Amino acid sequence: MATASELARQRRSLQGRVGVVTASTNGIGFAMAQRLAVDGAHVVISSRNQKNVDEALAKLKSEGLSVSEMVCHAGGKEDRTRLLEKTAAEFGGFDILISNAAVNPGSGRLMKCTEEVWDKIFDVNVKSSFFLAKKPLPHMEKRGKASIMFVSSVAGYLQNCAVEFFGAYALSKTALLGLSKLMSMELGPRGIRVNCIFPGVIETRFGAVITGDKRVPKIMHDNCPLQRNTRETKESTYRLLY
């Protein structure tokens, strides 16, 4: 029986389309970039670390996938502009934008969050996500069929899962849901779909601070209606695109 990735490669359902994924050199971002490319899209991966970008690019190219790269700190206006404008200039626009970059300084409970930590979280997780998605709209609209995806978190949908660990981070991820709803209403009539996904506890480098905490399994169990835990790995994030 063919694997999901083999079937996707046969379908090539995204053939001819161009996607941009931020923070896509490991974890969820890498898995999504990989799957888009398997489905036939050309994908521009990015990260603020050149070494990580080079390694991710080499791995994807070794799989015969159509990818290119750029160093981009998604929290920086100049970097975001350069990423989007270079992609648009090279490919005449693009069809898919996945805003995956985020920070989590680990402020613990919301009432312990300092102004400095608050500003850092909301600057990257919310403000930068909005302006990343807003700037390329003319390029995406003229392609006729475009999609924007914000990567939130289960903590943004079920805040009680995060109350002990990262209150401000969870709140920023809740804000992405509101952003997605408002943008979808404005952009839908212009042929641009806007969605927001809420990954659960996935074993990635970014999520290690959570997956490594012994309290997490009980918290996730108690907040699941079926009273069970589903341990996911980064490979399972392929499903997030379908």
The catalytic residues are 169
Burial of 222 (0-12, 13-18, 19+ CB in 10 A): exposed
Burial of 127 (0-12, 13-18, 19+ CB in 10 A): middle
β-strands 202-203, 232-233 pairing? parallel
Backbone angles phi, psi at 47, to 5 degrees: -165, 160
Read off the DSSP letter of residue 42: E
Q: How many CB atoms lie within 10 A of CB 142?
A: 12
Count how many Cα atoms sit within 13 Å of the Cα of residue 70 in the half-sphere of its side chain. 20
List the structure tokens of 155: 């903590």
Backbone angles phi, psi at 67, to 5 degrees: -140, 155
Task: Give CA–CA dist 220/216, Å, rounded.
Answer: 6
Task: Give CA–CA dist 76/117, Å, rounded.
Answer: 17
- Which single residue is written with the structure tokens 């209403």? 185
